[in-house]
Amino acid sequence: MTTTDHDLPAQSSAATTSSATGTRATRIIGIAAIVALGWLVAFGLGFSPADRDQEEAVRILYVHVPTIWLAYLAFVVTAVASAMYLFTSKKSLGWDRMAGASAEIGVVFVAVTLAVGAMWGRLTWGVFWQWDARLTTTALLFVTYVGYLAVRRLGGSHHQRARRSSVLGLIAVIEIPLVHWSVRLWRSLHQEATVLDTDGDIDMDGLMLFSLFVGVVAFTLLYVWLMLHRTRTMAMEDIVEDRGLDAALAARRAEGEL
Amino acid sequence: MEDAGFILGSYLLTFAAVAAFSWRTLRAGRKLADQVPADDRYWR
């Protein structure tokens, strides 16, 4: 495969900068993310009250919950981008890179969720880990997407990589409802959803809910910022790989002519 | 006091993980930019 497909879904190109993958848009989003993370620390560790039952341990949930929600979002984006690659006639590698970048960020967020959740578990349950339905399915989700990232590195042309990882991206996303509803499907130590429950009644103090909202905004901005930088880096990786292959083929042809 | 250690640790761990991933991404971008002409960077 010696052709280079640089067709990408519409992304910011209005502003330019001398940095490698940054633009004016990424700088604005990056600054907004840092400010929002600062607010998260202020509300999560300072302004929000302690919980009646969990006491101070509730503060961990302001990072634990947003990171898993963003991981869900990241994996849904991976699935949608995978479907766009597979089922559109253009077969743009931009969709594949979007799927790959989103999966990488999702894996980081799930890893954070598991690690931070273990700390919350130690304070609330007295143990770091239990083979509970929610914890086990979340660990399975993590391992599945680490596998997805490994499959992306198997080699072959860019389109071969895109085809096989798109199929996997569409299958793996089925795990998300399994993780979310695991607390209802099986007897679980983990508490049920407080905000995203089916009855629509949110039993939370206003300041606690606001702190959670700040966390969601902060990690969403961070996700968008990371996505822009990572997809651009992946585009450059593909270009460099194509050029290396072109050079190797030219050298081989030159040898044949001698 | 044990609570404070775990609570602060959870925030520190989160920010450290995000910072490490961001740094890795930006560094890879900078390295690759030396090998890719500006015309091939669609975001410019």
Task: State the ipTM, two decimals.
Answer: 0.93
pLDDT value of residue A224: 97
Tell me the average pLDDT across A219-235. 96
Reported as a single tens digit per residue, the pLDDT across B2-18 is 688 999 999 999 999 99
From the CA of B33, how many Å to the nearest CA of chain A?
6
Interface A–B counts its CB contacts (< 8 A) at 108
Per-window interface: A 31-60 vs B, CB < 8 A? 37, 41, 44-45, 55-57, 59-60
Interchain CB contact of A218 with B (< 8 Å): no
Burial class (CB in 10 A: 0-12, 13-18, 19+), A93: buried
In whole angstroms, what is the distance from residue A33 CA to residue A47 CA?
20
Reported as a single tens digit per residue, the pLDDT across A70-114 is 999 999 999 999 999 999 989 899 999 999 999 999 999 999 999
User: What radius of gyration, in Å, describes the C-alpha atoms of chain B?
Assistant: 18
Asked if A123 and B32 come within 8 Å (Cβ–Cβ), the reply is no
Q: Measured at the alpha carbon of residue B11, what is the angle toward residues A208 and A49, in degrees to the nearest 5?
A: 25
Element (H, E) at B27: helix B2-33
Query: And the tokens for A66?
Result: 């947003």
Element (H, E) at A166: helix A158-172
Asked if B43 and A44 come within 8 Å (Cβ–Cβ), the reply is no
From the CA of B29, how many Å to the nearest CA of chain A?
5
Asked if B44 and A226 come within 8 Å (Cβ–Cβ), the reply is no
- For the CA atoms of A205, A181, A221, A230, the dihedral, rounded to the nearest 10 degrees, stands at 160
Nearest to A236 among B17, B18, B33 (CB): B33
The proportion of chain A whose per-residue pLDDT surpasses 70, expressed as a percent, equals 88
Positive/negative CA dihedral, B10, B14, B17, B20: negative
pLDDT value of residue A3: 41
Q: Measured at the alpha carbon of residue A198, what is the angle toward residues A196 and A202, in degrees to the nearest 5?
A: 55
Asked if A240 and B36 come within 8 Å (Cβ–Cβ), the reply is yes
Give the residue on A whose Cα is nearest the Cα of B34: A20
Rounded (10°) angle between helices A158-172 and A133-152: 170
Per-window interface: B 1-44 vs A, CB < 8 A? 2-4, 6-11, 13-15, 17-18, 21-22, 25-26, 28-30, 32-33, 35-36, 40-44
Reported as a single tens digit per residue, the pLDDT across A122-143 is 999 899 998 988 999 999 999 9
pLDDT value of residue A195: 66
pLDDT value of residue A22: 87
From the CA of A6, how many Å to the nearest CA of chain B?
8
A92: left (phi over 0), alpha (psi -120 to 50) or beta: beta
* Chain A contact set for B18 (CB, 8 A): 108, 112, 222
The proportion of chain A whose per-residue pLDDT surpasses 90, expressed as a percent, equals 62
Name the DSSP letter for residue B36: S
Tell me the average pLDDT across A158-170. 95
Contacts of residue B31, Cβ cutoff 8 Å, sequence gap at least 6: none
Give residue limits of the domains in chain A.
46-191+208-245
Amino acid at A115: A
Element (H, E) at A27: helix A24-42
Residue A25 has pLDDT above 50, yes or no: yes
From the CA of A116, how many Å to the nearest CA of chain B?
5
Name the DSSP letter for residue A193: P
Burial class (CB in 10 A: 0-12, 13-18, 19+), A206: exposed
Report helix, strand or coil for A55.
strand
**A202: confidence class by pLDDT, cuts 50, 70, 90:** low
* Chain A contact set for B27 (CB, 8 A): none
Asked if B15 and A37 come within 8 Å (Cβ–Cβ), the reply is yes
Give the residue on A whose Cα is nearest the Cα of B16: A112
